[in-house]
């Protein structure tokens, strides 16, 4: 059987019967070609979108939830409704100690302040932060460093500014590191410049100063603006959010059912929605691709059936000359597989071209919609495997049809 | 060479059945040239199909070259056809997208010969029918007589024991018919056993023996003085 595949005559026969009716052969191939093209194109585009989402979220711990104090809406334990909830540093410690599955809890403070440097000024968000922030929300530093523990311990007056602020307060190509800027009329030394990147998830933060320094200059005491809780990769962020909120409600004497007292934004949940959407899209892609492919293969089976009908007499002659039914069937199946495979390969190649086109059109630059739109070799081989399997199965139908007629009847056919 | 004993064959037509062959006894020796004659419906084609293993008898014995032909699977029939028989058809039945050489080489392909051997043998047989220079022409580029000679070369290619010709001159004019008969006579002179189904008297007279069928039985079976086709050509 294997030897048969390497014989020149086998392929001569395939070539002869395919070139006998060129238009029909080409039309036959279009179905499968289109199916594979769709499959490769859609899968590649889906991958591109997924990659671009991953790049957007890449710098962010996606398994995170923000908790912000709000105003109570239910009276509880002698407190009237309308009480303002102020989260404190001790809340973060307790959450870290008591809620299961937590990676970090990062308390943050934020304020708007006037920032002045020589004759340039602007109003920016000043955030009081711990070095830990860098773990949750990776800072792309262009120059210098982020806040470290010593800055916190010594209440240093240092700041890390965004590239946009740098552009507003500094001349082009001016060295920023080591320069002083005035926040609320207090001099801060610039120790780092960072790139904001593509998106700002959560509240925007333009200037970072040590948390302890923030406490001092804004008189915050133990109060914090909000906290970011990051779960371990394997833990359920929705459960963490519930546990943490319940703990805070307990500490702050808030009614357990009060859902206005604490506000929050569950990044993990939002992210899961997007990943779910992407998974759905991939499933849809496979479904559409394979369905189109099957339709294409059926078209091949159909055309071969007609071809076999047309060649009834020829098949009769061949059998009179000594062709066994197996030899006839084998030839037809090889033809079917060959057509599917050639059409499939052309589909893969043109699908690749489409992905290259997509990449050129939408895949360039930092804010590209499609990042590295591509399919893996595994997918290509899987698609080919499906093609060969379907081609063989569908080829069996005309093959059995061809040999179901007795040679005598086949010869009588005009 | 060929021995047939009490052969019966009927075809179902609706509810009833048509008894086509009603007990045929026939013996053909090696080197004979037999014409099977009869009007249409006499059963001559059915007999030839059974001899050609394209059809199977309902009852009776058929022994070809010492091998009883019975309960054949399609595969076995194909092998026997390839090994024992060469077919010549009225409408030539050449494969129209293959050239003369490829058509002649086709039975050899099914014999499992390699390409080189096939080409050599096919060329030899094309030479024999005098059409070597037409080897690379498609059937559509050949005349009727040429096509039939290609078909004869194809039937000869596998070196069969028995040549079966079903109205070999039915689609040809008289002159070409005689040319084909002349060639078949030559083959017979060389020792080939040939069975020809025909309804033309002049063609039958060019054989050595005439078997007349009528309504499914052999009406007459006689040796004749062979008329040489060469005298008309």
Residue B13 carries which DSSP code?
Answer: E
A98 or B60, higher pLDDT: B60
Q: From the list A8, A324, A406, which residue is nearest B115 (CB)?
A: A8
Which CATH number is B161's domain given? 3.40.50.300
pLDDT computed for residue B121 by the predictor: 94
List, edge to edge, every strand of the sheet that includes B59-64. Answer: B16-28, B2-13, B59-64, B67-68
Chain A residues touching residue B154 (CB < 8 angstroms): 321
Q: Domain tally for chain B?
A: 1
CB contact under 8 A, B107 and A321: yes
Question: Is residue B2 included in any domain, yes or no?
Answer: no
Question: Is residue B212 included in any domain, yes or no?
Answer: yes
- pLDDT 10s digits, B183-227: 999 999 999 999 999 989 999 999 999 999 998 899 999 999 989
- pLDDT (average), residues B226-233: 85
3-state secondary structure at position A183: strand
Question: Is residue B226 included in any domain, yes or no?
Answer: yes
What's the gap in Å between the CA of B223 and the closest CA on chain A? 30
Sequence-separated (6 or more) residues with CB below 8 Å from residue A364 = none
What interface predicted TM-score (ipTM) does this complex get? Answer: 0.90
C-beta separation of B166 from B194 below 8 A: no
Say how many C-beta atoms besides its own lie within 10 A of residue A129's C-beta.
27
Chain B residues touching residue A20 (CB < 8 angstroms): 97
Structure tokens at B151: 């078909």
CB contact under 8 A, A321 and B106: yes
C-alpha torsion angle, residues A170, A171, A177, A180 (rounded to 10)? -50
Question: Is residue B88 included in any domain, yes or no?
Answer: yes
pLDDT computed for residue A1 by the predictor: 63
A406 touches chain B (CB under 8 A): yes
pLDDT computed for residue B4 by the predictor: 93
CB contact under 8 A, B74 and A325: yes
What's the gap in Å between the CA of B102 and the closest CA on chain A? 10
CB contact under 8 A, B110 and A318: yes
Q: How far apart are the two ends of chain B, measured CA to CA in Å?
A: 31
**In tens digits, what is the pLDDT along chain A, a chain of 414 residues?**
677 777 787 888 888 888 877 888 888 888 889 888 888 888 888 888 888 877 776 656 677 888 888 888 888 888 888 888 888 888 888 888 888 888 888 888 888 888 888 888 888 888 888 888 887 777 777 888 888 888 888 888 899 888 888 888 888 888 888 888 888 888 888 898 887 765 554 445 578 889 888 888 888 788 888 888 888 877 788 888 888 888 888 888 888 888 787 888 887 777 778 888 888 888 888 888 888 888 888 888 888 888 888 888 889 999 988 899 998 999 889 988 898 899 999 999 998 898 888 888 887 766 677 777 788 888 888 888 988 898 899 999 999 988 888 888 888 766
Q: Of chain B residues 60-99, which have a CB less than 8 A from chain A?
A: 74-75, 78-79, 81-83, 87, 89, 93, 95, 97-98
Mean of the per-residue pLDDT values of chain B: 91
B20 touches chain A (CB under 8 A): no
Rg (CA), chain B: 18
Rounded-to-integer distance, Cα A102 and Cα B225, Å = 112
CB contact under 8 A, B93 and A9: no
Give me the phi and psi of A216, to 5 degrees please. Answer: -70, -55
A8 touches chain B (CB under 8 A): yes
Question: Is residue B22 included in any domain, yes or no?
Answer: no
Chain A residues touching residue B47 (CB < 8 angstroms): none
pLDDT computed for residue A203 by the predictor: 45
What's the gap in Å between the CA of B48 and the closest CA on chain A? 11
Q: Where are the beta strands (DSSP E) in A12-119?
A: 64-69, 102-117
What's the gap in Å between the CA of B224 and the closest CA on chain A? 31
Q: Which residue has the tokens 């946009």?
A: A164
Chain B residues touching residue A8 (CB < 8 angstroms): 115
Q: From the list B52, B78, B109, which residue is nearest A9 (CB)?
A: B109
Rounded-to-integer distance, Cα A333 and Cα A335, Å = 5
Closest B-chain CA to A4? B112
A408 touches chain B (CB under 8 A): yes
Could you tell me the pTM of the whole model?
Answer: 0.71
List, edge to edge, every strand of the sheet that includes B193-198. Answer: B85-88, B162-166, B193-198, B33-37, B209-214, B217-223
CB contact under 8 A, B110 and A321: yes
B144: closest CA among B119, B174, B99? B174
Q: From the list A20, A318, A408, which residue is nearest B55 (CB)?
A: A408
A272: closest CA among A102, A105, A53, A99? A53
Host domain of residue B193:
29-59+71-231
Q: Could you tell me if residue B212 is left (phi over 0), alpha (psi between -120 and 50 degrees) or otherwise beta?
A: beta
- pLDDT 10s digits, B114-135: 889 999 999 999 999 999 999 9
Say how many C-beta atoms besides its own lie within 10 A of residue A134's C-beta.
19
Q: From the list A16, A20, A324, which residue is nearest B78 (CB)?
A: A324
pLDDT band, residue B176 (cuts 50/70/90): very high
A105, A207, B187 from A162: Cα distances, Å: 23, 6, 102
Chain A residues touching residue B115 (CB < 8 angstroms): 8-9
Parallel/antiparallel/unpaired status of strands B33-37 and A262-266 = unpaired
Question: Is residue B16 included in any domain, yes or no?
Answer: no
Q: Could you tell me if residue A322 is left (phi over 0), alpha (psi between -120 and 50 degrees) or otherwise beta?
A: left
Q: Of chain A residues 249-278, which have a CB less than 8 A from chain B?
A: none
Rounded-to-integer distance, Cα A377 and Cα B109, Å = 39
Rounded-to-integer distance, Cα B83 and Cα A117, Å = 104
Rounded-to-integer distance, Cα A166 and Cα B20, Å = 106
Structure tokens at B98: 């293959």
Structure tokens at B109: 């392909």
Which H helix or E strand runs over A389? helix A377-404
């Amino acid at each position: 059987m294997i030897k048969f595949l390497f014989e020149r005559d086998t392929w001569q026969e395939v070539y002869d019967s395919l070139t006998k009716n060129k238009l029909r052969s080409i039309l036959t191939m279009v179905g499968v070609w289109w199916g594979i093209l769709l499959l490769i194109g859609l899968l590649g585009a889906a991958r591109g979108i997924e990659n671009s989402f991953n790049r957007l979220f890449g710098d962010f711990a996606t398994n995170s939830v923000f908790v912000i104090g709000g105003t109570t809406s239910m009276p509880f334990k002698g407190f009237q409704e309308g009480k303002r909830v102020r989260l404190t540093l001790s809340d973060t410690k307790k959450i870290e100690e008591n809620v299961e599955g937590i990676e970090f809890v990062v308390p943050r403070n934020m304020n708007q302040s006037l920032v002045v440097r020589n004759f340039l000024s602007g109003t920016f968000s000043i955030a009081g932060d711990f070095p830990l922030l860098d773990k949750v929300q990776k800072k792309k530093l262009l120059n210098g460093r982020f806040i470290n523990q010593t800055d916190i311990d010594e209440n240093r007056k240092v700041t890390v500014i965004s590239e946009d602020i740098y552009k507003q307060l500094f001349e082009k190509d001016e060295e920023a590191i080591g320069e002083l800027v005035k926040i609320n009329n207090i001099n801060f030394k610039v120790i780092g410049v960072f790139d904001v990147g593509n998106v700002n998830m959560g509240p925007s933060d333009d200037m970072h100063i040590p948390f302890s320094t923030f406490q001092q200059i804004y008189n915050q005491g133990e109060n914090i603006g909000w906290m970011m809780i990051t779960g371990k990769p394997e833990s359920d962020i929705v459960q963490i959010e519930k546990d943490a909120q319940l703990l805070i409600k307990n500490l702050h004497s808030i009614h357990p059912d009060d859902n206005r007292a604490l506000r929050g934004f569950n990044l993990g949940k939002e992210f899961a929605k997007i990943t779910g959407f992407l998974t759905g899209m991939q499933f849809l892609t496979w479904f559409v691709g394979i369905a189109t492919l099957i339709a294409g293969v059926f078209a091949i089976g159909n055309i071969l059936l007609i071809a076999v009908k047309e060649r009834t007499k020829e098949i009769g002659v061949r059998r009179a000359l000594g062709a066994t039914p197996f030899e006839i069937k084998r030839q037809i199946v090889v033809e079917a597989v060959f057509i599917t495979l050639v059409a499939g390969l052309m589909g893969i190649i043109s699908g690749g071209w489409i992905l290259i086109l997509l990449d050129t059109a939408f895949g360039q630059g930092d804010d590209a919609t499609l990042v590295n739109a591509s399919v893996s070799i595994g997918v290509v081989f899987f698609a080919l495997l499906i093609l060969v399997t379907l081609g063989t199965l569908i080829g069996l139908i005309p093959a059995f049809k061809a040999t179901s007629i007795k040679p005598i009847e086949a010869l009588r056919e005009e | 060479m060929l021995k047939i004993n009490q052969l019966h064959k009927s075809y179902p037509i609706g509810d009833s059945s048509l008894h086509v062959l009603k007990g045929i006894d026939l013996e053909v020796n090696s080197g004979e040239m037999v014409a099977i004659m009869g009007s249409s419906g006499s059963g001559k084609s059915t007999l030839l199909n059974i001899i050609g293993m394209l059809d199977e008898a309902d009852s009776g014995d058929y022994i070809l070259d010492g091998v009883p032909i019975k309960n054949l699977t399609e595969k076995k029939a194909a092998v026997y056809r390839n090994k024992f028989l060469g077919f010549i058809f009225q409408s030539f039945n050449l494969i129209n997208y293959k050239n003369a050489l490829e058509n002649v080489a086709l039975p050899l392909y099914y014999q499992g010969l390699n390409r080189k051997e096939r080409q050599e043998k096919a060329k030899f047989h094309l030479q024999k029918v005098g059409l070597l220079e037409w080897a690379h022409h498609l059937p559509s580029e050949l005349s009727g007589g040429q096509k039939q000679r290609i078909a004869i070369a194809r039937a000869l290619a596998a070196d069969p024991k028995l040549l079966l010709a079903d109205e070999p001159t039915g689609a040809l004019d008289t002159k070409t018919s005689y040319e084909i008969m002349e060639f078949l006579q030559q083959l017979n002179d060389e020792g080939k056993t040939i069975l020809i189904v025909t309804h033309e008297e002049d063609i039958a007279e060019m054989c050595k023996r005439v078997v007349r069928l009528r309504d499914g039985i052999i009406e007459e079976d006689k040796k004749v003085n062979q008329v040489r086709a060469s005298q008309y050509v």
